[in-house]
Amino acid sequence: MNIAKKELFVAWFFLITAIVFEVLGTSFLKMENQILGYIFMALFIAFSYFFMGKTIKKIQVGIAYAVWELLGIILILLVSFIVFKESLTLTQILGIILSIIGIIMINIGEVKE
């Protein structure tokens, strides 16, 4: 693997890490102890932005953010269904599907450098 490919691989790893930290941070807002929830949320969101900053050095910011939003939406929905037992209306589901389609279209239209 050449250096450029390795750097790109590391950037995508940082992006996935940023997404996971963002989802965890958001999830902590549902804690019973709100003060502790806010502390964990701030900590995890800070880590998320740290890794996002590393990511956009090698991946276009628009692409990185679109992927962050897409995977973040999917993961937070899974957490809300599995952990918090939340549900969605049909209109909300349709909105999420349209958002996912839009983000995929943004990624398909990415300009290769």
| Number of DSSP helices (H) and strands (E) in the chain, helices first | 4, 0
Look up the pTM and report it. Answer: 0.83
Distance spanning both ends of the chain, measured CA to CA: 19
pLDDT by residue for the chain (113 residues), tens digit each?
798 899 999 999 999 999 999 999 999 998 888 899 999 999 999 999 999 999 999 999 988 998 898 899 889 988 988 899 999 889 988 988 898 888 888 778 766 55
